[in-house]
């Protein structure tokens, strides 16, 4: 639930001082946070969160029962029920996620522009903590700041991601399963909705260019202008390498017996690092039998290629259209992905 990347702009209130005088290094400008380099750095840090969450989810079977809607679960504690939806059935995952978001909202999680709720209409009206003030990093023009694609994200997660990373069947670990599901969903949601920050940064760099394309209704032109294929290729390669590294057990059989000297301890660390690198490089080049893998690196790469990257770009296009005062085209509605057929 950390929002450190945005709270950094408030560092002046807590900055380390020398003789009561803040140094230039203590000051962080909004323009610095909205720079593409800063945003990319944040997105790279989020990769570990997403990959580790996927690894945790992959230890349980598909457990399809947690995604089926039931009429017997009731209203999650702390949440509200919109009028007319009192008898609306929900799945165990939805029940758990709604309750989790209600609790997090009470301690002001969704006041951060980094965070977007999956069920904003189920959030309580009151918070137990005072509001935090965040810098105006995103635009409210046309409701751009409120762009939320969590509906299609959850659908793709249940229908595409889970079957690709989890073994078929049911292991009765339903509570642990939805706990992992929530962690994955919230991590990916934060990542793809960072597309709004990317879009704002690119808009500020070329407002006339984007306004011209939006006025012409040229969503393909907007998509082309914001796409950086070289960066996307690096993201895919990095995601696969990290999955190959983090998702593989160290080859302890090839390690020497442990001793107590610091010098020897250093050699053990070096050997372990070398073994991890070798294993990761091997996994990068081919899909082996997976006997050492907690998750398939190619599957993690496909999650990024087929869902995370295109969904991020859809959010960017939707944000830019609203930012420029127009409704996004139908293929950029929040209940679908533009790569899907209409």
Residues with catalytic function = 40, 191, 202, 228, 232, 312, 316
User: Any bridge partners for residue 18, and if so which?
Assistant: 21
Q: What share of the chain is helix, strand, coil (3-state, %, to 5)?
A: 60, 5, 35
Q: Which residues contact 78 (CB under 8 A, 6 or more apart)?
A: 99, 102, 103, 106, 124
User: What are the two backbone dihedrals, phi and then psi, of residue 267, each rounded to the nearest 5 degrees?
Assistant: -70, -35
Closest listed residue to residue 292, CA positions, set 301, 280, 307: 280
Collapsing DSSP states into helix, strand and coil, what is residue 18?
Answer: strand
Q: Which residues contact 93 (CB under 8 A, 6 or more apart)?
A: 66, 67, 158, 178, 181, 182
Strands, DSSP E only, in the chain?
17-18, 21-22, 69-70, 90-91
Interatomic CA distance for residues 314 and 334, integer angstroms: 9
Contacts 24+ apart (CB under 8 A), 154-160: 154/118, 154/185, 155/335, 156/307, 156/311, 156/337, 157/181, 157/184, 157/185, 157/188, 157/307, 158/67, 158/93, 160/306, 160/307
């Amino acid at each position: 639930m950390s929002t450190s990347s945005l709270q950094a702009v408030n560092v002046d209130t807590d900055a380390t001082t020398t003789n009561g005088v803040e140094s230039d290094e203590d000051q962080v400008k909004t323009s610095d946070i909205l720079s593409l380099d800063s945003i990319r750095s944040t997105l790279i840090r989020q990769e570990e969160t997403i990959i580790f969450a996927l690894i945790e989810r992959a230890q349980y079977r598909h457990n399809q029962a947690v995604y089926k809607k039931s009429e017997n679960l009731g209203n999650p504690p702390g949440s509200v029920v919109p009028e007319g939806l009192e008898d609306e059935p929900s799945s165990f995952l939805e029940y758990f996620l709604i309750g989790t978001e209600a609790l997090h909202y009470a301690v002001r999680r969704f006041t951060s522009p980094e965070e977007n709720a999956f069920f904003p209409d189920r959030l309580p009206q009151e918070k137990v903590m005072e509001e935090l003030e965040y810098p105006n990093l995103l635009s409210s023009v046309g409701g751009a700041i409120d762009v939320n694609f969590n509906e299609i994200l959850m659908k793709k997660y249940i229908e595409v991601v889970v079957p690709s990373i989890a073994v078929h069947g049911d292991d009765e670990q339903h509570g642990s399963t939805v706990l992992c599901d929530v962690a994955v969903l919230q991590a990916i949601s934060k990542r793809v909705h960072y597309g709004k920050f990317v879009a704002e940064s690119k808009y500020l760099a070329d407002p006339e260019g984007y306004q011209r394309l939006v006025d012409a209704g040229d969503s393909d032109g907007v998509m082309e202008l914001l796409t950086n294929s070289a960066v996307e290729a690096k993201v895919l390669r990095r995601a696969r390498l990290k999955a190959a590294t983090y998702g593989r057990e160290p080859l302890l059989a090839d390690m020497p017996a442990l001793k107590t000297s610091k010098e020897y301890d250093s050699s053990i660390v070096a050997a372990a690092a070398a073994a991890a690198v070798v294993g990761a490089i091997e996994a990068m080049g081919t899909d082996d039998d997976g006997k050492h893998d907690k998750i398939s690196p190619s599957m993690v790469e496909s999650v990024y290629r087929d869902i995370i990257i295109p969904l991020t770009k859809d959010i960017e296009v939707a944000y830019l259209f609203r930012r420029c005062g127009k409704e996004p085209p139908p293929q950029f509605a929040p209940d679908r992905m533009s790569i899907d057929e209409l």
